[in-house]
Amino acid sequence: MSIQQNLKHIKETLPENVTLVAVSKTKPVSDLQEAYDAGQRIFGENKIQEMAEKHELLPKDIEWHMIGHVQRNKVKYMASFVNLIHGVENEKLLNEINKQAKKHDRIIDCLLQIKIADEESKFGMHEAEAIEILKSDAFSELAHVNIVGIMGMATFTENESQIKSEFTQLKTTFNTLKVLHTNPAQFKTISMGMSGDYQLAIGCGSTMVRIGSSIFGVRNY
Ligand SMILES: *Cc1c(COP(=O)(O)O)cnc(C)c1O
């Protein structure tokens, strides 16, 4: 099926309150353009340089989401245009995003990445750290970042009940953090679910799914 058909098919299955991030990492600009022409406006990338290059080449009404692991020294290359950073995994990174956003007179939306998977390779903070950040005076002084929710990745496994329990855990963490937020109405995003597990994630309360291979086909690294 074509990118356009894949997109249409996926969109038909998504509830209205769930946002689709088309994960276009490793894919050529022509593929993104095809998705754009089919109406898609939100794209997710996991490498800052690749995202910056694609941003240069593509229409400027695209919303760019950084979904990958972020190195602090590279935040400056996306601070002028990125719309949402999904993988904020510690306070130092949040401080750097704030600093770079300030230079561009912007407020950058961020999600705190919470570790839910049973795998060493997955990044993220524990709920306790997220609570500490939201409660801290230092955070309340960061005028150029806006924490709008959380993100998590389930363990890579066939075991559906494990994935479900991890997603449920993320939803519980979301509820806990929301009441601590100075502006709970702004804290509204749960980014969870990818090609293989997004239906399950939506069932557990996801409001944003990050789908790559089911739209663009398998990736060749
Ligand atoms: C690559 C990636 C995705 C998309 O994965 P698919 O299985 O291709 O849908 C989602 N989230 C993150 C963080 C990724 O790195």
| Percent of residues, the chain, with pLDDT higher than 70 | 100
Q: pLDDT per residue over 65-89, tens digit each? A: 999 999 999 999 999 999 999 999 9
Average pLDDT over every residue of 88-96: 96
Q: pLDDT per residue over 24-36, tens digit each? A: 999 999 999 999 9
Average pLDDT over every residue of 114-119: 90
Give the number of other Cβ atoms within 10 Å of residue 197's Cβ: 23
**Total residues found in the chain within this entry:** 221
State which of 19, 31, 67 you would mutate to test the pocket of ligand 1, scoring each by most atoms of that ligand within 8 A of its C-beta: 67
Q: Which helix (H) or strand (E) holds 43?
A: strand 42-45
Using the predicted structure, report yes or no on whether residue 145 has a pLDDT greater than 80: yes
Confidence of residue 43 (pLDDT cuts 50, 70, 90): very high
Provide φ and ψ at 180, rounded to 5°.
-85, -20
Atom of ligand 1 minimally distant from the CA of 86: 13
pLDDT at 55: 98
pLDDT at 80: 98
- List the domain boundaries for the chain: 3-215
Give the chain's mean pLDDT: 96
Q: Do residues 3 and 35 touch, judged by C-beta distance below 8 A?
A: yes
- Tokens describing residue 32: 């993104």
Confidence of residue 107 (pLDDT cuts 50, 70, 90): very high
Measured in Å, residue 84 CA sits from the centre of ligand 1 at 15
Q: pLDDT per residue over 152-184, tens digit each? A: 999 999 999 999 999 999 999 999 999 999 889
| C-alpha radius of gyration, the chain, whole number | 17
Using the predicted structure, report yes or no on whether residue 12 has a pLDDT greater than 90: yes
Domain 3-215, what fold? TIM Barrel (3.20.20)
Measured in Å, residue 55 CA sits from the centre of ligand 1 at 19
Which protein residues are within 6 Å of ligand 1, measured from CB? Answer: 23, 25, 46, 67-68, 153, 194-196, 210-214
Measured in Å, residue 136 CA sits from the centre of ligand 1 at 31
